[in-house]
Amino acid sequence: MDPITLRLPHTVQRPQELTSYGPTTRTTQPIVTGTSVVAFKYKDGIIMAADCLGSYGSLARFRNEKRLTQVGEKTLLGVSGDISDYQYLQHKLEDMITHEYDMDDGQSLGTKSVYKYLSNIMYGRRNKFDPLWNAYVVGGIDNGEKVLGFVDMYATTYSSDTIATGFGSHLAQPILRRRVEGRTEQITEEEALEILDECMRVLFYRDCRTFNKLRRAKVTAQGVEISEPYSLETNWDFAEDIVGYGA
């Protein structure tokens, strides 16, 4: 029996045999995107937050995206930018972790190795002028050492006590520099959560591509823990005083 081919009227489908012909194509703009990721080091490890929105331009298209994931045993990955590029990368990381597991010698890839591997992928794609349109935050504990690193579509990498991607680098990073920088070891989990909420609230108020449904996650010596989606309390009373708002 012949295989059934689906031909959807609204999509352009190139014939199978022609996939290697024609002009080469590149991601020239992101399609479905996630906005900021906010992360920092605190006393027990690394804490991170991102909302659940996958925007399609200005449309709040996908409202249940998971932008924080665990990689291996003690590594947390946060992503902003193109969601499909991220899902592709997730498969690559899964392959990497599976390959390591298959070695069956009791060794595993630490956060630094995951970060290095990810950075190499990003650098390789940048060199092909075909970047993965993302900014990633990698957090974890590697041999007792807290690791928090960043890598983006240009393969720019850096480590810092506080990291925020996208709009977060403008809106959340100043808050983190004030509240976290130089005192990571004094910050308890309670305070860390409070700081995180402050950042996410500011982002929700000011970044149009956010959504009041978010997840937070932490990596401690015990491992990775990603929360269920939750919402922040917000206050729109001030809106009444703004001329032209609502009624």
Partner 1 sequence: MDFMMHSEQQNQLEPTQAPVERHSHNQWNPYVDNGGTSLIIAGKDFVLVASDARQSVGYNINTRYDPKAYELSNKTVLATSVCSADAKRLCEVLEQRAQLYYHKHERQISTQALAQQLSNTLYSRRMFPYYVFPLLGGIDAEGKGAAYSYDAIGNMERVTYKAFGSASALVQPFLDNQIGMKNQRGAEGERMLTREEALRLAIDSFTGAAERDIYTGDWLDIFIIDAAGVHKETRELKHD
Partner 2 sequence: MFRNQYDNDASTWSPQGRIFQVEYASEAVKQGTAVVGLRSKDHVVLTAVKRSPNELASYMKKIIRIDDHMGIAVAGLTSDARVLSNYLRTEAMRSKMVYGRPLPIGRAVNAIGDKAQTNTQEYGRRPYGVGLLVIGFDDSGPHLYEFSPSGIVSEYYGYSIGARSQSARTNLERNFASFEDMSLKELIVQGLRSLRDTIQQGKQLDNMNTSIGFVGKDAKMTILDGEDTQEYLDLLNEGEAMDTE
Q: Which of 150, 114, 116 is nearest to 224 (CA)?
A: 114
Q: Which of 174, 166, 242 is nearest to 210 (CA)?
A: 166
For residue 74, give the DSSP letter: T
- 3-state SS record for 52-63: CCEEECCEEEEC
Q: What letter represents residue 192's amino acid? A: A
123 touches partner 2 (CB under 8 A): no
147 touches partner 2 (CB under 8 A): no
Least distance in angstroms from the C-beta of 41 to partner 1: 12
Chosen from partner 2, partner 1, none, partner binding at 156 (C-beta under 5 to 8 Å by type): partner 1
Please give the residues from 68 up to 107 whose contact with partner 2 meets the rule CB under 8 A.
103, 105-107
Residue among 113, 157, 160, 220 that touches partner 2 (CB under 8 A): 113
Least distance in angstroms from the C-beta of 116 to partner 1: 10
Chosen from partner 1, partner 2, none, partner binding at 173 (C-beta under 5 to 8 Å by type): partner 1
| Catalytic residue list contains 24 | no
Angle at 114 between CA 111 and CA 117, to 5 degrees: 150
140 touches partner 2 (CB under 8 A): no
Chosen from partner 2, partner 1, none, partner binding at 32 (C-beta under 5 to 8 Å by type): none
Strand, coil or helix: 78: strand
131 touches partner 1 (CB under 8 A): yes
Please give the residues from 23 up to 52 whose contact with partner 1 meets the rule CB under 8 A.
26, 28
Phi, psi (degrees; rounded to nearest 5) at 191? -65, -40
- Give the residue carrying structure tokens 């249940």: 64
Angle at 204 between CA 51 and CA 64, to 5 degrees: 25
Least distance in angstroms from the C-beta of 119 to partner 2: 9
> Given 11, 19, 24, 27, which residue is catalytic?
27
Least distance in angstroms from the C-beta of 79 to partner 2: 20
Q: Which two tokens stand for residue 1?
A: 């029996």
Q: What is the largest CA-CA distance in the chain?
A: 69
Please give the residues from 151 up to 190 whose contact with partner 1 meets the rule CB under 8 A.
154-160, 169-170, 173
Residues classed as catalytic: 27
